[in-house]
C-alpha cells in the first residue's frame, strides 16, 4: 500500500509531465475547445441562432432565414434574387453578391449554409452554376460567417426523409415545418429554407468535427 509520502511524490512527478505534454501540443486543441465553449455559452445566453440558407443559381438565387431556439425553428424571411439575363456574366455575379450582401446587412444572420453544386450533363451550365455559388458564398464569408455545405441528397433526407424527393415535396415539408412562411413562396426560396433547416439539425455535430479535426 502506498504511503502518503509516496502519493505526494507521484503527484509531483505527474504535474510536470502533464505540463510538458500541453506545451508540446502547442495547446491548440485547448484554444479550440475554449473558443467552442465561449461560442456555446454565448449562444445559450442569447438562446436564438439565426441561420441563412442559400440555393445558388445564376438565373435565380434563393435565400431563406430561420431562427433556431433549442429544437424550435421559426421562419424569419425569404426571397429570390434574379439578375437581369441580358447583363454580362460578371455583372450578373456582382448583382447576386451585392443583393445578398444587402440581405445579410438587413437580417444579420449568425451562420450560413449553401447547397453543393449539382453536376449536370452540360459542362458550361455546371461552370456557370459554380460561379454563382462562389458569389453567394463570398457574401456571408465577407460578413465573417463560415458557410456550411450540404449535398442536395442530404437536404432532402433531412427535410422530407427521402433523398429522391422532388421540389414539390420539399416545398410542402418546408411549409409544414415553418407554418408562418408565405404560402406563395417560390421553389428556390423553399430550397434555401430547406438548406437552413438541414444546418439547424447538423450544426452542432459539424462544429464538434471542426474542433476535433
What would the grid cell of residue 111 be? 451562420
| pLDDT above 50 (res 211) | yes
79-97: burial string, b at 16+ Cβ within 10 Å, e else: bbbbbeeeeeeeebbebbb
CB-based contact 197:64 (threshold 8 Å): no
What would the grid cell of residue 58 be? 445564376
Nearby residues of 208 by Cβ (< 8 Å), 6 or more positions away: 36
Given 3-state DSSP classes, what are the helix, strand and coil percentages for the chain, each rounded to the nearest 5? Answer: 60, 15, 25
Mapped to the 3 state alphabet, what secondary structure does 45-59 carry? HHCCEEEEEEECCCC
Marked catalytic residue, from 32, 115, 116, 191: 115
Work out the average pLDDT over 149-159. Answer: 94
Residue with cell 465577407: 142
**213: pLDDT confidence band, cut at 50, 70 and 90?**
low
**DSSP-derived pairing of the beta strands 111-115 and 147-150:** parallel
| pLDDT above 70 (res 30) | no
Provide the residue ranges of all domains of the chain, joining segments of one domain with +.
47-212
**Residue 127, by phi and psi: left (phi above 0), alpha (psi -120 to 50) or beta?**
alpha
- Listed range (8-12, 144-148, 208-212) with the worst mean pLDDT: 8-12
pTM of the model: 0.76
What would the grid cell of residue 104 be? 445579410
End-to-end Cα spacing for the chain = 42
Residue with cell 452554376: 129
Q: State residue 14's pLDDT score.
A: 45
Asked if 154 is an active-site residue, the reply is: no
Separation of CA 122 from chain center: 28
Nearby residues of 202 by Cβ (< 8 Å), 6 or more positions away: 148, 150, 158
More confident residue, 122 or 209: 122
**11: pLDDT confidence band, cut at 50, 70 and 90?**
very low
Q: State residue 47's pLDDT score.
A: 86
| pLDDT above 50 (res 2) | no
| pLDDT above 80 (res 85) | yes
Marked catalytic residue, from 67, 110, 111, 188: 188
CB-based contact 107:77 (threshold 8 Å): yes
**40: pLDDT confidence band, cut at 50, 70 and 90?**
low
Asked if 188 is an active-site residue, the reply is: yes
Q: Is the domain 47-212 a CATH 3.40.50.2300 member?
A: no
Work out the average pLDDT over 89-104. Answer: 98
**Among residues of the chain, what percentage have pLDDT more than 90?**
61
Q: State residue 78's pLDDT score.
A: 97
Marked catalytic residue, from 55, 110, 111, 191: 55
For residues 60 and 96, give the distance between their C-alpha atoms in angstroms, rounded to a whole number.
9
Amino acid at each position: 500500500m502506498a504511503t502518503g509520502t509516496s502519493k505526494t511524490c507521484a503527484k509531483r512527478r505527474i504535474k510536470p509531465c502533464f505540463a510538458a505534454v500541453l506545451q508540446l501540443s502547442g495547446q491548440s486543441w485547448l484554444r479550440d475547445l475554449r473558443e467552442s465553449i465561449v461560442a456555446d455559452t454565448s449562444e445559450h445566453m442569447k438562446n436564438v441562432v439565426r441561420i441563412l440558407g442559400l440555393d445558388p443559381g445564376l438565373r435565380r438565387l434563393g435565400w431563406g432565414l430561420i431562427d433556431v431556439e433549442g429544437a424550435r425553428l421559426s421562419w424569419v424571411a425569404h426571397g429570390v434574387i434574379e439578375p437581369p439575363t441580358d447583363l454580362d456574366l460578371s455583372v450578373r455575379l456582382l448583382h447576386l453578391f451585392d443583393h445578398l450582401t444587402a440581405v445579410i446587412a438587413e437580417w444579420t444572420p449568425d451562420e450560413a449554409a449553401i447547397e453543393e453544386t449539382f453536376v449536370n450533363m452540360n459542362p458550361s451550365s455546371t461552370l456557370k452554376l459554380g460561379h454563382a455559388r462562389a458569389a453567394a458564398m463570398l457574401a456571408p464569408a465577407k460578413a465573417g460567417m463560415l458557410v456550411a455545405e450540404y449535398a442536395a441528397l442530404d437536404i432532402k433526407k433531412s427535410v422530407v426523409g427521402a433523398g429522391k424527393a422532388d421540389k414539390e415535396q420539399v416545398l410542402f415539408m418546408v411549409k409544414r415545418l415553418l407554418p408562418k412562411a408565405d404560402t406563395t413562396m417560390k421553389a428556390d426560396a423553399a430550397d434555401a429554407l430547406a438548406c437552413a433547416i438541414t444546418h439547424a439539425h447538423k450544426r452542432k455535430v459539424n462544429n464538434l468535427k471542426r474542433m476535433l479535426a
